[in-house]
Structure 1
Amino acid sequence: MNEKNYEYLKEQLKNTGFGDTFNADLANKISQGAPEFQLAQKKTFGKDDVIATLHFKKGADSEMYFFNRYDLQLLNDKQEIRARQMFYINKGSSITLKEGYNLLEGRAVHKTLTNKQDEKYGAWLQLDFKSTTQNGNYEMKQYHQNFGYDLEKVLAKYPIKELADEQSKQQLIRSLERGNLQAAAFEIAGKEEKLFITPNVAFKTLSAYNHAGQRVSLKDLFQNQEQSVKQEQKSEQTQKETKAMKQEGDKTLKKPKRQRNVQK
């Protein structure tokens, strides 16, 4: 077995989110020397199951194996294929297993890509489930950095507890950039409420869900909060005015009457 090739592939699998699950099988397949081979793994994310099939192939002019791509299938409750996508391995910008799952769930993932001039740029990626390529893949939409979606600025519009601490803020941003549906604590009407958020890049905002997985409109939520605060302030002002009027009335009633001078 080519130990150098094995170690390289092992590290590549780790960096793509597959850990060391395949180490023994990988060594065995390399030792067999077949022109190409596949390895498969079933993994659970929350309540969802995915099946990843990894494709390895020998180079045309060498005995070195290359990890070229993996096919990811998202299953429904009946273990039927709900969606699938082939992800190709690119140096430094490959889609990890978790990111692949997040993309199949319809969420956006931020990656650093390289153009034809070998220049790096940041872009949000999202699958277009209404359009497919010739090989059966969903089209991958790219929202380049000049699209104008600034996640940090979008988050700053909302009273999110994690933003108060720099370390927590950066952890939140990194998680959202990986496409995760991330829990965040919002201050709503003086109370802390946990919502699950993810970037909504196309509309330059956030998508939010409650603990039951139901979509929540942040716009409506905070409009209602603002109206509630205004109503509460108005009620407090009315109470103050009523109290002031009552106190003024009490003063008038308690005011001593002038005694008339009686002349004898």
Structure 2
Amino acid sequence: MNLNNLENLKSEMKALGFSKELQEKMEDNMKANLPEFVLKDQINGYKGQIDLNLYFKQSGQSENYYLNKYDVALNEGKPLEAGQKYLVISPSETAGKNNVFKRENVAEAIEVFKKHTGNAELSVGKDAAHKTRLATMEEGKINYVDKEFGRIFRNPPLPQTIWVERGKGFTASQSVNLIEGRAVYREDMLTQGGLPYKAWMKLDLDGPRDRHMNFNMNQYHDPSYGFNLKEVLDKFNIKELENPKEREKLEAQLKNGDRASITVEKNGEQVKLQVEAVPRYSQLNMFAGNGRAEKREQFLKETSINKAVTKSKGKEVSANQGLGV
């Protein structure tokens, strides 16, 4: 194992926001001198469990390894609890014993289950003795699927490929935010001609996937598109904006695609909400702690409300003036 290569890859993993535990697993696989290997991780998001697969490949010319891509997939079903795995159980050739395949990725577990041609069971749990049944198969035919699991079973989550180069690209947290439908701000983008530019990036989750089965990326260029995060934030009565350090932290979180925590006043009391940037509409979305959407207009400053009313009246007058008799 090349120690310089290991050191470089650890730096790349750290820059991309992957855990120290994953870095240690990477080192173990490199020591085993495997030609290629995949590391797996799971993160609980706001909309479900996000599965990440990191792909490492050894050079054909040396013992060095490279990380050029990883993928993310959103499982909108119930996330795995601590210590749980998806279990695919089938009879063993040894009488009275079963084969148990363990997976942390629901799509992989469903794929393994569906490949069986005899009797099999797909469950979730810590082990075969402590499990909850999700689906069963008899003589190769599926005869039961749990109702709550049915949608995921019929349409397993497809991964989105994230390309990276020497630790540069979308970080793990940014990719999680993208696959959950939020926008991420990048200052280090390059055109095909090599010219730098800045833009808010958002996956088109409602559009068709490309020929590689990835979602297309919408880009809202800065400043030409017109979304100014600072100006939009200043329209609202958000307590964190009063403190320069808190404001800087909030802006950084929103640019990372996070749902950031803010303090606002509602019905005469200070309450905590979550906020996310929506560059397409030059707006913010706000949510209560339980994920329920909040009307952002109630948190606007008086000056912003007056401007909005004046603008609305102006549009109404213009429309009336344009009416013919």
Normalization by structure 2: what TM-score?
Answer: 0.64
When structure 1 is superposed on structure 2, of 34-43 and 166-175 the one drifting more is 34-43
Measured in 2, the distance between the counterparts of 1:186 and 1:39 equals 41
Measured in 1, the distance between the counterparts of 2:45 and 2:164 equals 22
Q: Do the aligned partners of 2:237 and 2:299 also contact (CA within 8 Å) in 1?
A: no
Matched, 1:142 2:219: yes
Of 176, 194, 208, 1:101 maps to: 176
The residue aligned with 2:259 is 181
RMSD: 2.6
The residue aligned with 1:239 is none
Of 267, 292, 299, 1:214 maps to: 292
Letter in 1 for 2:34: A
Once the 2 structures are TM-superposed, how far is the Cα of residue 82 of structure 1 from its aligned partner? 4.2
Q: Do the aligned partners of 2:12 and 2:166 also contact (CA within 8 Å) in 1?
A: no
Normalization by structure 1: what TM-score?
Answer: 0.77
Measured in 2, the distance between the counterparts of 1:68 and 1:49 equals 23
Q: Do the aligned partners of 2:265 and 2:299 also contact (CA within 8 Å) in 1?
A: no
What SS does the corresponding residue of 1:192 show, helix, strand or coil?
Answer: strand
- Cα deviation code 1:30-65 (max 9, x no counterpart): 233333221112233467322211101123543321
Of 151, 161, 169, 2:229 maps to: 151
Q: Do the aligned partners of 1:9 and 1:66 also contact (CA within 8 Å) in 2?
A: yes
Q: Do the aligned partners of 1:51 and 1:72 also contact (CA within 8 Å) in 2?
A: yes
Q: Do the aligned partners of 2:174 and 2:256 also contact (CA within 8 Å) in 1?
A: yes
Measured in 1, the distance between the counterparts of 2:30 and 2:167 equals 24
Once the 2 structures are TM-superposed, how far is the Cα of residue 167 of structure 1 from its aligned partner? 0.4
Give the 3 Å change call, closer, same or farther, for CA 181–53 of structure 1 in structure 2. Answer: same
Which one has the largest radius of gyration? 1
The residue aligned with 2:7 is 7
Once the 2 structures are TM-superposed, how far is the Cα of residue 189 of structure 1 from its aligned partner? 5.8
The residue aligned with 1:33 is 33
- Cα deviation code 1:62-116 (max 9, x no counterpart): 3321101111122123454445311111356411111111111111011121223
Q: Do the aligned partners of 2:183 and 2:257 also contact (CA within 8 Å) in 1?
A: yes
Give the 3 Å change call, closer, same or farther, for CA 23–38 of structure 1 in structure 2. Answer: same
When structure 1 is superposed on structure 2, of 85-94 and 131-140 the one drifting more is 85-94
Matched, 1:114 2:190: yes
The residue aligned with 1:259 is none
Letter in 2 for 1:64: N
Give the 3 Å change call, closer, same or farther, for CA 214–223 of structure 1 in structure 2. Answer: farther
Measured in 2, the distance between the counterparts of 1:29 and 1:160 equals 48
Q: Do the aligned partners of 1:71 and 1:85 also contact (CA within 8 Å) in 2?
A: yes
Measured in 2, the distance between the counterparts of 1:5 and 1:101 equals 27
Once the 2 structures are TM-superposed, how far is the Cα of residue 187 of structure 1 from its aligned partner? 3.2
Q: Do the aligned partners of 1:75 and 1:83 also contact (CA within 8 Å) in 2?
A: no
Measured in 1, the distance between the counterparts of 2:274 and 2:157 equals 23
What SS does the corresponding residue of 1:132 show, helix, strand or coil?
Answer: coil
Measured in 2, the distance between the counterparts of 1:26 and 1:7 equals 11
Measured in 1, the distance between the counterparts of 2:158 and 2:246 equals 33
The residue aligned with 1:204 is 282
Once the 2 structures are TM-superposed, how far is the Cα of residue 150 of structure 1 from its aligned partner? 0.8
Once the 2 structures are TM-superposed, how far is the Cα of residue 25 of structure 1 from its aligned partner? 2.5
Of 165, 180, 184, 1:90 maps to: 165
Measured in 1, the distance between the counterparts of 2:280 and 2:237 equals 22
The residue aligned with 1:21 is 21
Name the % identity. 28
Measured in 1, the distance between the counterparts of 2:218 and 2:200 equals 8
RCO higher in 1 or 2 (8 Å CA, sep ≥ 6)?
Answer: 2
Letter in 1 for 2:197: Y
Give the 3 Å change call, closer, same or farther, for CA 213–44 of structure 1 in structure 2. Answer: closer
The residue aligned with 2:54 is 54
When structure 1 is superposed on structure 2, of 32-41 and 119-128 the one drifting more is 32-41
Letter in 2 for 1:121: Y
Q: Do the aligned partners of 1:188 and 1:222 also contact (CA within 8 Å) in 2?
A: no
Matched, 1:67 2:67: yes
What SS does the corresponding residue of 2:159 show, helix, strand or coil?
Answer: strand
When structure 1 is superposed on structure 2, of 150-159 and 86-95 the one drifting more is 86-95
- Cα deviation code 1:150-195 (max 9, x no counterpart): 1111000111111111100000000111111111112346542322
